[in-house]
Structure 1
Amino acid sequence: MSAVEALTPDPRPLHARIAADLRDAIMNGDLAPGAKIPSTAQLKERFDASNATIQKALQVLKAEGLVVGRAGAAVTVREHRQQTVRPAASLAPAPTGSAYPWLAEMAGRSGAAVRTELLSVDEAGVQGDIAAALGQENGTSAVVRRQLITIEGESAELVCSYYPLAIARGTALAELRKIRGGTPTLLTALGFPPRTSVDRVSARIPTQAEHTALRLPGDLPVLRTLRTVYSDHHRPVEVTVMVKAGHLYELQYEFRPE
């Protein structure tokens, strides 16, 4: 018996396994936006499944926003089923009065209506990887800005940004209002220009708050990016936790050889 044959079979219900295979085909581009999903008859033969099981699998994908269709009509891959985000774009300062650079880029690329909602701004204690990234002790305070980004009216990303009190207190960072040009512009004006950033990306099951804010279906994982932005002398000036649905977004990084 080979090592592969010795592996424990996938314990998920058949409809979940079918949805997983179709989801992969959608996300890797085998099924392009606007393409028809194979017919029920084709899927029944391919997966040796009943009509009810196939319909249950398709309903999962509909709930996830990956496909659209109704009874009696072909099920098709949804347009803009997956957004590509270039994290590097978020570091660029924008001219006064302009939109956040990466939001403007996404809107221009897809024609989508992108919005940010500022949920809260306050001082709160930081713990764990956030405290470590800021170079602070657990329980010490930082200014926290929480925002929800929507695309075409749908919740897309939950963003929580943390700033050392020595930098943020008494500035627009600590006020409940949006910052024109984004925080890179303001940090530069305050004398802390963003120089480099380090991203740590992980996939995990969402917390209750994340699940609710992003209106997630089922138990699909989210992408969590912990970004630390450094200014001169490698001083951390901003730590941001960005959480987005893992099945709807991908991150694109570009690297140049030394």
Structure 2
Amino acid sequence: MARWKDPRPAHQQIAARIRDQIMSGHLDPGSKLPSTQQLMDEYGVVGTTVQKALQLLKAEGIVVGRPGKGVFVREQPNHVIEPATSMPPSVPGAPYWWTRHAAARARKGTARILEVAEVAPPKDVAAALGLAEGATAVVRKRVMLLDDEPAELVHSYYPAELARGTRLTDRRRIPGGSPTLLAALGYPTREFTDRVSVRPPTAEEFVALELPGEVPVLRTFRVVRSDHGRPIEVTVMIKAGHLYELEYRLPVG
């Protein structure tokens, strides 16, 4: 453990090592972690240090304690998202893509709308949408739920002149999602660009996602374009960094 001269406290180093073993598949979902004594022997630390490491992992939801039995890796593995799956319009009558994606993993996916309003968008959003100074956008803010627990915070922005008079301004779920509606309005999705970063959560993100401790968030800044490269949507997606993985499948050549 000292090979890389990690300056963090020992309990954080142990938690990082166990977390890596879980994420790499060395410890399977549902498997039992080594006992406190085994971890003490492995890392050369006292029992309180091991317990502090396990408390970190429990707070993150990565492991769960079972009284009298030990500590186990959570049953549900990381939620893997393939971003491109959310872009095509839905088949008429088909469930929303989030619902379909969750159901494929034997989970329940729902969404809760927090706000729909016409606003002055953040500077990066305005630039990505090509808005003139002072122009407004319609924002739709939602929390995506998995098994009724908050999983992702989503802010989607649309040029106000495009959104006005459509269901984009309605505080109700859009059948088939925004790609379906935009295509029906004459703005089919032709391409999208994702910019992904990791950072500490804002107050809004921390509360809305019910994040534990110092868990970072995965921030995806997505720009959606229609014909002739026209930007029609910018979506900022915030996911708990310890629960998600993004999977990209791209053709080569």
Q: Which range, TM-score by smaller chain?
A: over 0.9
Retained in 1: the 8 A contact 2:102–2:146?
no
**Residue 173 (structure 1) aligned with residue 138 (structure 2):** no
Say which SS state the counterpart of residue 75 (structure 1) adopts. strand
**Residue 236 (structure 1) aligned with residue 231 (structure 2):** yes
Say which SS state the counterpart of residue 181 (structure 1) adopts. coil
Task: Look up the match of 1:100.
Answer: 96
Say which SS state the counterpart of residue 115 (structure 1) adopts. strand
In the TM superposition, residue 81 of structure 1 has moved relative to its aligned partner by 3.0
**Residue 42 (structure 1) aligned with residue 29 (structure 2):** no
In the TM superposition, residue 221 of structure 1 has moved relative to its aligned partner by 1.1
Q: Measure the CA separation in 2 of the matches of 1:104 and 1:20.
A: 33
Retained in 2: the 8 A contact 1:230–1:237?
yes
Q: Which of 216, 221, 225 pairs up with 1:221?
A: 216
Alignment of 1:150-229 (within 5 A): 150-229=145-224
Task: Look up the match of 2:110.
Answer: 115
Q: Measure the CA separation in 2 of the matches of 1:212 and 1:172.
A: 28
Task: Look up the match of 1:127.
Answer: 122
In the TM superposition, residue 68 of structure 1 has moved relative to its aligned partner by 1.3
Q: Measure the CA separation in 2 of the matches of 1:212 and 1:175.
A: 25
Task: Look up the match of 1:247.
Answer: 242
Say which SS state the counterpart of residue 222 (structure 2) adopts. strand
- Which amino acid in structure 2 is aligned with residue 96 of structure 1? P
Say which SS state the counterpart of residue 76 (structure 1) adopts. strand
In the TM superposition, residue 102 of structure 1 has moved relative to its aligned partner by 4.1
Q: Which of 63, 82, 89 pairs up with 2:85?
A: 89
Aligned-residue sequence identity (percent) comes to: 52
Alpha carbons of structure 1 residues 71 and 164: separation in structure 2 relative to 1, 3 Å: same
Retained in 2: the 8 A contact 1:89–1:102?
no
Say which SS state the counterpart of residue 107 (structure 2) adopts. coil
Task: Look up the match of 1:73.
Answer: 69
Q: Measure the CA separation in 2 of the matches of 1:173 and 1:97.
A: 19
Q: Measure the CA separation in 2 of the matches of 1:63 and 1:48.
A: 24
Say which SS state the counterpart of residue 198 (structure 2) adopts. strand
Q: Measure the CA separation in 2 of the matches of 1:12 and 1:211.
A: 24
Retained in 2: the 8 A contact 1:122–1:145?
yes
In the TM superposition, residue 140 of structure 1 has moved relative to its aligned partner by 2.9
Q: Which of 9, 16, 19 pairs up with 2:15?
A: 19
Retained in 2: the 8 A contact 1:133–1:239?
yes
Q: Measure the CA separation in 2 of the matches of 1:129 and 1:25.
A: 37
Retained in 2: the 8 A contact 1:68–1:78?
yes
Alpha carbons of structure 1 residues 222 and 138: separation in structure 2 relative to 1, 3 Å: farther
Q: Measure the CA separation in 2 of the matches of 1:29 and 1:102.
A: 25
Gaps of at least 5 residues in structure 1 are none
In the TM superposition, residue 75 of structure 1 has moved relative to its aligned partner by 1.1
Retained in 2: the 8 A contact 1:90–1:100?
no
